Structure 1
Amino acid sequence: MEIEDKFDVPAEYQVPDLGGLPGSTEVVGPKTYQLVALYFDTPDLRLAARGITLRRRRGGTDPGWHLKLPKAKGARQEIVHPLTRSAKIVPAELADLVLAYTRGVPLAPIAELDTRRAVTTVVNGAGIRLIEVADDRVKGTVLGGTPHVERWREVEAEIIEGDEKLLKKVGKRLTKAGAVPADAASKLARLLGAAGAVSEQPRAEAEPGSAGEVVLSYLTAQAGALLAQDPRVRKAEPDAVHQMRVAARRLRSALKSFKTIVKGTENVQEELKWLGGVLGEARDLEVVRDRFASRLDALDGALIVGPVRTRLSSDLLDDEHEALDRIRDVLGGERYFALLDALDDLVATPVLTKAAREPAGTLDAVAAKSWRRVTRAYGAAQAKEDAAEREHAMHDVRKAAKRARYTAEVIGMTRMAKLAEAVQEVLGTHMDGVVAQERLAAEAGNARRAGEDTFTYGVLTGLERAGAERAHEEFPRVWEETSEAVARLL
């Protein structure tokens, strides 16, 4: 992760003395470098429109290919790849990470930045670099047609091994000397903005304080969350599949619950259901693998017999990797790109109903309707005489509770969302225990056929059965308390 502050400075700017900062003992530099960076994008600048930069840079201390993804909580994710022989072909690994943005459109050089950089480094007593301040004199050229050239100067302060508190103090010294926070997020954004080459991502506007504004704001945020997880899923980063799946589920739930606000989304809902299913296999394997690892860590070592850890960790991990490979295949396909296009259209040009112009408070009725759906599902489940059918019907209760939770989140009914989540969590604990038992039975069968001792599988199955039964017994109390609390809210 890259954490930095950027400043615009006049041509005559003098970088101030950075000595005496807390925790530092020395200021090294300035040391000068010449950097030449070639930037890549689609012809219609799809990466730039999303705040993404992809470049091949020569010179300085970190030559190579650099992909910078948009900021999240103040930090930009930077992915580095060694220089390749070709200066005009983007490495496949990086091109793949931006597929959700390019959607298969070829990448080509769109700009060149020639930078004379003077680097000053704040160092502590152990010789560790804390903060690096780069004073850049830049010549930028937009390529294609008649080249557009811009020249400017800017200063960047970046955390190396320091912290944000120290970065803030450095920033104060820079601004006191005449620097001002930069308007553009990157050099490329500044160059393309000056050339008038990039258009902002289109966004629909609803009436302030209206139901449409609330719903569209939520849909926009979740569509952005789904897209932001795409590169992380491709890199198999922890929890990325889960976060992408949650975004897809939240989008689908909101579109179903608020069909009286935004209409004509049935196809998008079906495609989001499809994507959630694609992500589900790898996510479920990740959950059960972590679950079994925790169970084994908590067991007395004397109860662990045979290569049970291997079967319940590395073997499951192999299955998970295969599932991730299948996800990557889907994320490179036209069906997925069509879904992303549909989400872009939904955010930019939604089909709003008359109800979208009503005050936001009218959405409370949707939350009440969503909870009534939960109570109906619970009543239908309890009416089942067959225990197996009743347990299956309780899965519908859990799904309805999850939808009620997401609906309440859209409106900002935090308490309501927490109550619905309580129902969802207890039922989920029971279901997870049942699924875990089924998986353990399958793995125990594999172990038995391999001539391995299956004692530990029995121990784990007992723990899972006990946990599932506790959740089952606890549910009536949770349901009663939750129902009473929701009634008071609504």
Structure 2
Amino acid sequence: MTQSKRETERKYDAPSAEDTSWLPELTGVDRIAAVLEQGMDELDAVYYDTDDLRLAGASATLRRRTGGDDEGWHLKLPLSGDSREEVHAPLSETLPDTLRDLVLSRTRGAELTPAVRIRSTRDTRHLVDSAETVLAELVIDRVRAQSLRGTTTVAAWTELEVELAEDTDPALLDVVDKTLHKKGIERADHPSKPVRAMTETGLGGPRIPDTRAETVVDGSAGDEVLGYVDEQVRKLVGLDPAVRRDVPDSVHQMRVTCRRLRSVLRSYRPVLDREVTDPIRDDLKWLGGELGAERDQEVLMGRLGKRIGAAPDELVLGPVAARLRTWNVANTAEARRRTLDALNTPRYLALLDSLARLREQPPLRRKAARKPRKVMAKAIFKEYDRLADRTAHALELTPGTERDKALHEARKSAKKTRYATEPARATLGKPAKRLGKRVKAVQKVLGDHQDSVVARDALRKLALAAQAAGEPGFTWGLLYGKEQAVAADRERELPAAWADASNPGLRKAITD
């Protein structure tokens, strides 16, 4: 069983662990009323990584540590700024499968073996307020490191860490940082103990092959597109552990990331060779589809639950809420299984490998070396023109099944157009951002319409199940009618939203 917490800390190079006269007086700094000594601990940690140090290259660490009050297995994953997520598992001789799964998107299935051993003599102090509530923990570590992969070099250094307690305002770190700086104590230039240990014991730093510097022209169309691709791939990899742990909204975010990557690889085919990117797009479509079952169920349950909650009591006939809950439990369990199964397939690992190769050895085409403005504007308007055609076609149809399908196709085109603007915003500026915003408004109208289509299908099935069980079908029919009304409202709103997005001035501003 694992537990997790958010860890926010800063590391500093320290002169000495034996004589701490260099440490400034922190009592009276900001809300710190006292510095309380907590004693010494001997910590012994073995850090695991792949042969080519993929975890270190992704700013993640995995260790087995004895000593101290939190001995066990620790996985640390990067968050924003000075924060990381730490996942803790009880001490065992072998790596727990749960942690192995949580690093799978970073290891891509490569074997994890001991890389370095780090032993620390830790001097711990608590920074407390006037009520003796712990605001932060300050530790001074005397570190001894050795490689576990054949080199004989050992390394030793002293470092200082300041870690915030839960719910402490992060601004305290800045205040402490300023006080330490005045005393000549500077931030460490290494991201973590194991990375420094790997470097100083001769194991080397993260070895991630990168040929981009040799092939990508700075400021070119290829540079802009690959920068966006890099960002989305990092996001996809980073979301994997959150999806496995069922963190709220993580499935939705991962699915959207798949869509963004698929769309950009399609829109910018003049920049990246489709013979390489089309198979990746196929795999991203597959993954998004597997994730979609869980996300769609979540959205649908929220929508139907809200409708039932808003209905007057006298119009809710029969065990409506109970039936909805039973239906949701069954569908959610199946969708969850489908998500986790997908993340443990060879196809998913192959996709991660393909994305890594795409970043490291991008299949650039001739136009990738050109200045980005014309290349990116052309890509955007190719998607935009397809959106215009599909929207016009949908608006010509009479309400019904065929129009619903056409509106759904227009919605997908709106997403592609919007995503095509995102890598171009640095180059095309506010006009591209404005176009993306207005197309998003069209997408929102079409999205609510499509959600209503899906909700009506679910309501019909729930009504049939209720009827078969001898329950009243009145409430299900009432909700069906409300969803019909919602769809009609969205169809009436679409022409105005589309007129705003199809303003000729937007196109002129981007192409000028």
TM band (smaller chain): over 0.9
Matches of 1:211 and 1:141 in 2, distance apart? Answer: 45
- The 5 Å alignment of 1:281-360 reads 281-313=293-325, 315-360=327-372
Equivalent residue number for residue 60 of structure 1: 68
Matches of 2:397 and 2:313 in 1, distance apart? Answer: 43
Matches of 1:409 and 1:378 in 2, distance apart? Answer: 21
What's the offset of the Cα at 1:454?
3.6
Query: Structure 1: which 5+ runs fail to align?
Result: none
Equivalent residue number for residue 236 of structure 1: 246
What's the offset of the Cα at 1:3?
0.8
Given that residues 50 and 201 in structure 1 are in contact (C-alpha distance below 8 angstroms), is that contact kept between their aligned partners in structure 2? Answer: no
Determine whether 1:36 maps to 2:48. Answer: no
Question: What percent identity do the matched residue pairs reach?
Answer: 39
Question: Where in structure 1 do 4 or more consecutive aligned residues deviate above 6 Å?
Answer: none
- Amino acid aligned to 1:68: K
Question: What's the CA shift string for 1:146-169, capped at 9, x where partnerless?
Answer: 343110011111110321111211
Given that residues 138 and 162 in structure 2 are in contact (C-alpha distance below 8 angstroms), is that contact kept between their aligned partners in structure 1? Answer: yes
Distance change >3 Å, CA 78–CA 422, structure 1 → 2: same
Determine whether 1:199 maps to 2:206. Answer: yes
1:155 counterpart (154, 160, 182) = 160
What's the offset of the Cα at 1:26?
2.6
Distance change >3 Å, CA 21–CA 386, structure 1 → 2: closer
Matches of 2:330 and 2:204 in 1, distance apart? Answer: 46
Matches of 1:125 and 1:460 in 2, distance apart? Answer: 57
Secondary structure, in 3 states, of the residue corresponding to 1:72? coil
Determine whether 1:247 maps to 2:260. Answer: no
1:91 counterpart (86, 92, 96) = 96
Equivalent residue number for residue 278 of structure 1: 290
Given that residues 54 and 206 in structure 2 are in contact (C-alpha distance below 8 angstroms), is that contact kept between their aligned partners in structure 1? Answer: no
Given that residues 110 and 144 in structure 1 are in contact (C-alpha distance below 8 angstroms), is that contact kept between their aligned partners in structure 2? Answer: yes
1:171 counterpart (165, 173, 177) = 177
Question: What's the CA shift string for 1:276-318, capped at 9, x where partnerless?
Answer: 1111111101111222233334344444444333333453144
Calculate the TM-score normalised by the size of structure 2.
0.90
Matches of 2:319 and 2:158 in 1, distance apart? Answer: 62
Which sits farther off after the overlay, 210-219 or 301-310?
A: 301-310
Matches of 1:124 and 1:329 in 2, distance apart? Answer: 48
Matches of 2:316 and 2:91 in 1, distance apart? Answer: 48
1:381 counterpart (373, 394, 397) = 394
What's the offset of the Cα at 1:76?
0.8
Matches of 2:323 and 2:476 in 1, distance apart? Answer: 11
Equivalent residue number for residue 461 of structure 2: 442
Matches of 2:312 and 2:399 in 1, distance apart? Answer: 39
Matches of 2:466 and 2:398 in 1, distance apart? Answer: 37
Equivalent residue number for residue 189 of structure 1: 195
Calculate the TM-score normalised by the size of structure 1.
0.94
What's the offset of the Cα at 1:359?
0.9
Which sits farther off after the overlay, 52-61 or 321-330?
A: 321-330
Matches of 2:108 and 2:381 in 1, distance apart? Answer: 40
What's the offset of the Cα at 1:100?
1.6
- Amino acid aligned to 1:53: T
Matches of 1:480 and 1:51 in 2, distance apart? Answer: 46
**RMSD after superposition:** 2.0
Distance change >3 Å, CA 179–CA 428, structure 1 → 2: same
What's the offset of the Cα at 1:173?
1.8
Equivalent residue number for residue 272 of structure 2: 262
Distance change >3 Å, CA 212–CA 235, structure 1 → 2: same
- Amino acid aligned to 2:175: K
What's the offset of the Cα at 1:119?
1.0
Which sits farther off after the overlay, 62-71 or 445-454?
A: 445-454
What's the offset of the Cα at 1:382?
4.1
- Amino acid aligned to 1:218: Y
- Amino acid aligned to 1:282: E
- Amino acid aligned to 1:174: L
Equivalent residue number for residue 393 of structure 1: 406
Given that residues 53 and 207 in structure 2 are in contact (C-alpha distance below 8 angstroms), is that contact kept between their aligned partners in structure 1? Answer: no
Query: Structure 2: which 5+ runs fail to align?
Result: 1-5, 426-431
